Amino acid sequence: MPIRSIVIERARRAHQAAGSLKNTEGGVRSEALHRAAELLHRRESKIMRANAIDLEGAQEKGLSAALLDRLTVHEQRLEEMAQGLREVAEFPDPLGAVIESWERPNGLRIERVRVPLGVIGIIYESRPNVTVDAAGLCLKAGNACVLRGGSEALHTNLILAEVMQEACLKTGLPDGCVEIIPITEREAVYELAKLDQYLNLIVPRGGEALIRAVCEVATVPVIKHHKGLTQIYVDRVCDVEMAVRIVHNAKVQRPGVCNAVETLVVHRENEAALRAIIEDLRAAGVELRGCEVTRSIVPDLRPAEQVDWDTEYLDLILSIRTVDSFEAAVQHIARHSSGLSEAIITSEGAAGERFLREVDSACVYVNASTRFTDGGQFGLGAEIGVSTDKIHARGPMGVRELTSYKYVIRGTGQVRP
Amino acid sequence: MPIRSIVIERARRAHQAAGSLKNTEGGVRSEALHRAAELLHRRESKIMRANAIDLEGAQEKGLSAALLDRLTVHEQRLEEMAQGLREVAEFPDPLGAVIESWERPNGLRIERVRVPLGVIGIIYESRPNVTVDAAGLCLKAGNACVLRGGSEALHTNLILAEVMQEACLKTGLPDGCVEIIPITEREAVYELAKLDQYLNLIVPRGGEALIRAVCEVATVPVIKHHKGLTQIYVDRVCDVEMAVRIVHNAKVQRPGVCNAVETLVVHRENEAALRAIIEDLRAAGVELRGCEVTRSIVPDLRPAEQVDWDTEYLDLILSIRTVDSFEAAVQHIARHSSGLSEAIITSEGAAGERFLREVDSACVYVNASTRFTDGGQFGLGAEIGVSTDKIHARGPMGVRELTSYKYVIRGTGQVRP
């Protein structure tokens, strides 16, 4: 069968499932997640066999140790997936909630009610746990999903999707709630992105090139999850010890993620903070790159080049820019931010409030680490990703962001004059 | 200058303006709208001269009387535009509102705050009032806009945009808040739709073909405003007089709009309602087309063909399908609906509630005319359009739907463990 036909068939099945899935009770959808958590353990040996095939293939292809690790499923990771499902199952049902309601002078009663989006396409790369996490979040919000994972994890993903499907069937959810595309060619992604008659949303999680390619061909709405070029501004006056602690946490604790800081902007008058932060990060093995002004204060830094201000290192590297004013800091941030997370460290309340207002990022912080940009850390529960778009959902996307609404209008015979 | 360069330049200017527009006070943005309302009258003769050029061109091209009428600006229409601006100006400022807020166990205080989207591209066809209405709504919500109207209205649109720009400048809003693309080639639309570095959203208002073409090339998010295939279901038991009144209103009052009914679905046991509705609509000059079952009850109807169930007549034509059950009605609706407005006429409460739950349309009604699908009728104020998408905004899109949000996090030195 040509690729296009296979993709269409899966998307059509999901679309059909979504039609009845939206009418199911929240309790049934939760039960499906609990069942899936159980089944993950019961199907352990089958999952491990599939994972062994993927790992063997990946080793033959010479994938790095880090990628092999991301690909590996073992007992603890299975339990993490199961635990994730159980947690999502326990969230309150988002569907049917009346978001707002009012009455019109003509007596029409209008409600805005939360409903599922319909069918969500999830495109992701090597980590197989996304198969389970994403399907779980979609089901919780009453959505069918069409999954398309990375080629290295194909066998593992297919078995994990099978577990989710089995759990749905056993709970009485319609066939087709969790569909997976068993095709590794990139063409399958492009075909999927054009099926706006079946899909309501695509969430691509992966590299910049993949996301751009999807956006270029998609007619289905896409919520982009781009890179995070995160910046922290240390203001003219601040608690130096706090600044050291926050920058250290934002750079060192987990440098490979989108909410880790990549650029530090420091007010010129705050040399104390600049020196203390540099001393601390050097001790932590961070490579520092400074602008000319920074290097006039701390001479033995490697010079930062223009490209540094736009580079997401995802590594123990930090570029430092020293500025003359708050305004210059906000300008630097606006020019180079990816619009995800930005923080100010300040002891001046007015500066903090102005920063919160003027910096146009999904998450803006005063005196806290940017590492908190995360659905779990916000208390939103598990997240399907972190949106760098402004429409529909911005920042961490949880279950609620996988829903839409409809207007429900109850009348007594009203007609429009 | 090549088309692409002109489009990029306008979009870039709007993007730059949006950066400072988002920090303006609501009062200033309202004042700009009041000034624009005034200026519309003061620039009346200039506007009329431009409109005369457009009308002359349109007559030469042999446009229909209806299109010429849509294109015409006269004193009353200017006053309607001005009045629209004054009304939008009086809305409460949507920006800065705290949508929700909570505190985390670690003491972080998190707020979700309403902010502008940034830059909105509006693509529209012949009616020049959209230039003023759309720019007014965008400004109210703190957004810059890039307008691209129909070629027939180019001269009128350019002057109207100039009026909006003049009002912005006089109020101290940044240059570039209202940009207009002075190019009639379709290519300009396609170029605009690819400028995701500058635009945050595109709202295409126009024919099916235009919307599809925009979606196919766009990398900027698009909220689609498709046609409305509106259906009304007359249930087994209902107030016959009410059914006649509602169907009459939904079909006859203004047949050329997206919330006018195109298909009537009737329960087979409700022959009384079927006959009464047919009698009423015939008297009103509506052409009726029936399925076989309908024609077995009322023989002298023109037969409906398969294509009728998917046709938006926008005219005094109605197709009628008679079904055996509630389920068959909901199935017919699901298969043929455009997902915008659907209604049930019933005197059984449970059937009404089930319809509201199971029919997946932006606006679902019990015992009221579908003609109420409209921002003004809902009490949301003026609308930029009616979304047939499910993400971001569904149904009538008012000022609130032209906004996004950001997370504002206030800490006291918290770092992630």
Task: Spell out which residues of chain B touch residue A380, defining contact as CB-CB under 8 Å.
Answer: none
| Gap between the Cα atoms of A366 and A126, Å rounded | 35
Radius of gyration from C-alpha coordinates of chain B: 24
| Closest CA–CA distance from residue A242 to any residue of chain B (Å) | 6
pLDDT at A202: 96
Burial A13-37 (b: 16+ CB within 10 A, else e): bbbbbbbebbebebeebbbbbbbbb
Tell me if B417 is assigned to some domain.
no
Q: Which residues pair with B113 in a beta bridge?
A: B98, B406
Task: Spell out which residues of chain A touch residue B386, defining contact as CB-CB under 8 Å.
Answer: none
Choose the closest CB to B378 out of A110, A201, A212.
Answer: A110
Task: Spell out which residues of chain B touch residue A412, defining contact as CB-CB under 8 Å.
Answer: 367-368
| Gap between the Cα atoms of B236 and B328, Å rounded | 12
Judge if B236 and B328 occupy the same domain.
Answer: yes
Judge if A77 and A219 occupy the same domain.
Answer: yes
Choose the closest CB to A391 out of B108, B396, B404.
Answer: B404
Under an 8 A CB cutoff, do B390 and A200 touch? yes
Query: Which residue in A has a C-alpha nearest to residue B245's C-alpha?
Result: A415
Tell me if B383 is assigned to some domain.
no
pLDDT at A228: 83
Q: Please, which residues have CB within 8 angstroms of residue A113's CB and are 6 or more apart in sequence?
A: A96, A97, A98, A99, A405, A406, A407, A408
Tell me if A416 is assigned to some domain.
no
Choose the closest CB to A411 out of B368, B392, B411.
Answer: B368
Q: Please count the structural domains in chain A.
A: 2
E strand or H helix that includes residue A412: strand A403-414
Judge if A242 and A367 occupy the same domain.
Answer: yes
Tell me if A384 is assigned to some domain.
no
| Closest CA–CA distance from residue B91 to any residue of chain A (Å) | 17
Under an 8 A CB cutoff, do B390 and A404 touch? yes
Do A409 and B364 contact (CB within 8 A), yes or no? yes
For an interface test with A, the pick among B344, B360, B363, B387 (most A C-beta atoms closer than 10 Å) comes out as: B360
Choose the closest CB to A201 out of B117, B391, B411.
Answer: B391
Q: Please, which residues have CB within 8 angstroms of residue A43's CB and are 6 or more apart in sequence?
A: A159, A162, A163
pLDDT at A225: 81
Choose the closest CB to B215 out of A104, A219, A223.
Answer: A219
Task: Spell out which residues of chain B touch residue A378, defining contact as CB-CB under 8 Å.
Answer: 104, 110, 407
Judge if B404 and B352 occupy the same domain.
Answer: no
Q: Tokens standing for B208?
A: 């099916």
The DSSP letter of residue A371 is G
Judge if A371 and A398 occupy the same domain.
Answer: no
Judge if B215 and B307 occupy the same domain.
Answer: no
Query: How does pLDDT run along chain B (417 residues), one tens digit per residue?
Result: 799 999 999 999 999 999 999 999 999 999 999 999 999 999 999 999 999 999 999 999 999 988 899 999 999 999 999 999 999 999 999 999 999 999 999 999 999 999 999 999 999 987 899 999 999 999 999 999 999 999 999 999 999 999 999 999 999 999 999 999 999 999 999 999 999 999 999 999 888 888 889 999 999 999 988 778 999 999 999 999 999 999 999 999 999 888 999 999 999 999 999 999 999 999 999 999 999 999 999 999 999 999 999 999 999 999 999 999 999 999 999 999 999 999 999 999 999 999 999 999 999 999 999 999 999 999 888 889 899 999 999 999 999 999 999 999 999 999 999
pLDDT at B167: 98
Task: Spell out which residues of chain B touch residue A248, defining contact as CB-CB under 8 Å.
Answer: 415
What single letter denotes the amino acid at residue B284?
A
Do A342 and A370 contact (CB within 8 A), yes or no? yes
pLDDT at A46: 97
Q: Which residues pair with B45 in a beta bridge?
A: none
What ipTM goes with this model? 0.94
Tokens 């197989």 locate to: A128
| Gap between the Cα atoms of A346 and B239, Å rounded | 67
Under an 8 A CB cutoff, do B406 and A378 touch? no
pLDDT at B209: 87
| Gap between the Cα atoms of A182 and B325, Å rounded | 40
Judge if A136 and A280 occupy the same domain.
Answer: no
Query: Which residue in A has a C-alpha nearest to residue B407's C-alpha?
Result: A363
Under an 8 A CB cutoff, do B249 and A415 touch? yes
Dihedral pair phi/psi, residue B139, rounded to 5°: -60, -45
Under an 8 A CB cutoff, do A221 and B110 touch? no
Task: Spell out which residues of chain A touch residue B212, defining contact as CB-CB under 8 Å.
Answer: 219
Judge if A145 and A287 occupy the same domain.
Answer: no
pLDDT at B382: 84
Under an 8 A CB cutoff, do A416 and B246 touch? no
Count Cβ atoms within 10 A of the Cβ of residue A60 and give its class: 0-12 exposed, 13-18 middle, 19 or more buried: exposed
The DSSP letter of residue A332 is H
Q: Show the domain range for B360.
A: 230-376
Judge if A320 and A195 occupy the same domain.
Answer: no
Judge if A277 and A318 occupy the same domain.
Answer: yes
Q: Please, which residues have CB within 8 angstroms of residue B395's CB and are 6 or more apart in sequence?
A: A406, A407, B340, B362, B363, B373, B386, B387
pLDDT at A156: 97
What SS3 class is residue A1? coil
Judge if A253 and A307 occupy the same domain.
Answer: yes
Do A7 and A183 contact (CB within 8 A), yes or no? yes
Under an 8 A CB cutoff, do A362 and B407 touch? yes
Q: Of the candidates B402, B393, B385, B380, which has an alpha carbon nearest to the alpha carbon of residue B125?
A: B385
What SS3 class is residue A323? strand
Q: How far apart are the first and last CA of chain B?
A: 56
Tell me if B185 is assigned to some domain.
yes
Domain containing A339 — which CATH number? Answer: 3.40.309.10
pLDDT at B226: 78
Judge if A110 and A7 occupy the same domain.
Answer: yes
Task: Spell out which residues of chain A touch residue B361, defining contact as CB-CB under 8 Å.
Answer: 406
**Angle, CA A339 vertex, CA A336 and CA A342 arms, to 5°:** 85
Under an 8 A CB cutoff, do A407 and B362 touch? yes
Query: How does pLDDT run along chain A (417 residues), one tens digit per residue?
Result: 799 999 999 999 999 999 999 999 999 999 999 999 999 999 999 999 999 999 999 999 999 988 899 999 999 999 999 999 999 999 999 999 999 999 999 999 999 999 999 999 999 987 899 999 999 999 999 999 999 999 999 999 999 999 999 999 999 999 999 999 999 999 999 999 999 999 999 999 888 888 889 999 999 999 988 778 999 999 999 999 999 999 999 999 999 888 999 999 999 999 999 999 999 999 999 999 999 999 999 999 999 999 999 999 999 999 999 999 999 999 999 999 999 999 999 999 999 999 999 999 999 999 999 999 999 999 888 889 899 999 999 999 999 999 999 999 999 999 999
Count Cβ atoms within 10 A of the Cβ of residue A353 and give its class: 0-12 exposed, 13-18 middle, 19 or more buried: middle
Q: What is the pTM of this model?
A: 0.93
pLDDT at A268: 98
| Gap between the Cα atoms of A216 and A107, Å rounded | 46
Do B147 and B181 contact (CB within 8 A), yes or no? yes
pLDDT at B217: 93
Task: Spell out which residues of chain B touch residue A407, defining contact as CB-CB under 8 Å.
Answer: 362-364, 373, 378, 394-396
Tell me if A417 is assigned to some domain.
no
Do B266 and B274 contact (CB within 8 A), yes or no? yes
Do A17 and A174 contact (CB within 8 A), yes or no? yes
Task: Spell out which residues of chain A touch residue B381, defining contact as CB-CB under 8 Å.
Answer: none
Q: Of the candidates A6, A391, A384, A350, which has an alpha carbon nearest to the alpha carbon of residue A192?
A: A6
| Gap between the Cα atoms of A260 and A248, Å rounded | 10
Under an 8 A CB cutoff, do B369 and A416 touch? yes
Tell me if A382 is assigned to some domain.
no
Q: To 10 degrees, the CA torsion angle through A138, A142, A143, A148?
A: 30
A/B interface, count of CB pairs below 8 Å: 195
Tell me if A20 is assigned to some domain.
yes
B280-313 pLDDT per residue, tens: 999 999 999 999 999 999 999 999 999 999 999 9
Domain containing B168 — which CATH number? Answer: 3.40.605.10
What single letter denotes the amino acid at residue B416?
R
Under an 8 A CB cutoff, do A365 and B196 touch? no
For an interface test with A, the pick among B239, B345, B371, B390 (most A C-beta atoms closer than 10 Å) comes out as: B390
Choose the closest CB to A408 out of B334, B364, B415.
Answer: B364
Do A50 and A181 contact (CB within 8 A), yes or no? no
Under an 8 A CB cutoff, do A362 and B406 touch? yes
Specify whether the backbone of A121 is left (phi greater than 0), alpha (psi in -120 to 50) or beta.
beta
Choose the closest CB to B367 out of A110, A242, A412.
Answer: A412
Distances (CA, A) of A276 to A316, A346, A362, B407, B409: 17, 15, 29, 29, 25
